[in-house]
Amino acid sequence: MSKPKILVARAIFPEVISRLEQHFEVEANQSDAIWSKAELAEKLKDKDGAFTTGGDRIDAEVLAACPRLKICANMAVGYNNFDIDAMTAAGVLATNAPDVLTETTADFGFALLMATARRVTESEHFLRAGKWGKWSYDMFAGSDIHGSTLGILGMGRIGQGIAKRGAHGFGMKVIYHNRSRLDVTLEAECKASYVSKEDLLRTADHVVLVLPYSPASHHTIGAAELAMMKPTATLVNIARGGIVDDAALAQALRDKTIAAAGLDVFEGEPKVDPDLLTVPNVVMTPHIASATVPTRLAMANLAADNLISFFKDKKPLTPLNPAVLGG
Binding site for ligand GLV (CB under 6 A): 54, 76-78, 101, 290
Give backbone dihedrals phi and psi of 150, rounded to 5 degrees, phi first. -100, 125
For the bound state, the minimum distance from the C-beta of residue 105 to ligand GLV, rounded and expressed in Å, comes to 7
Residue 269 bears catalytic tag: yes
Residue in 19, 118, 177, 287 annotated catalytic: 287
CA distance 193 to 187: 7
Cβ atoms of 215 and 240 closer than 8 Å: no
Task: Calculate Rg over the CA atoms of the chain.
Answer: 21
Give the Å distances, CA to CA, from 300 to 95, 101, 315.
12, 11, 18
Give the C-alpha separation, 203 to 213, whole Å: 24
- Diameter over CA atoms, the chain: 74
Which residues partner with 272 through β-bridges? none
10: amino acid identity, one letter: R
Contact 320, 86 (CB under 8 A): no
| 189 carries an active-site annotation | no
Pairing relationship of beta strands 206-209 and 234-237 according to DSSP bridges: parallel
153 forms bridges with which residues in the sheet? Answer: 177, 209
287 given a catalytic annotation: yes
In the three-class reduction of DSSP (H, G, I as helix; E, B as strand; rest coil), residue 99 is classed as coil
Residues 324 and 327: their CA atoms lie apart, in Å, by: 9
**Cβ density class 289-299: b for 16+ within 10 Å, e for less:** bbbbeebbebb
Q: Which residues contact 214 (CB under 8 A, 6 or more apart)?
A: 80
Which residues are catalytically annotated?
240, 269, 287
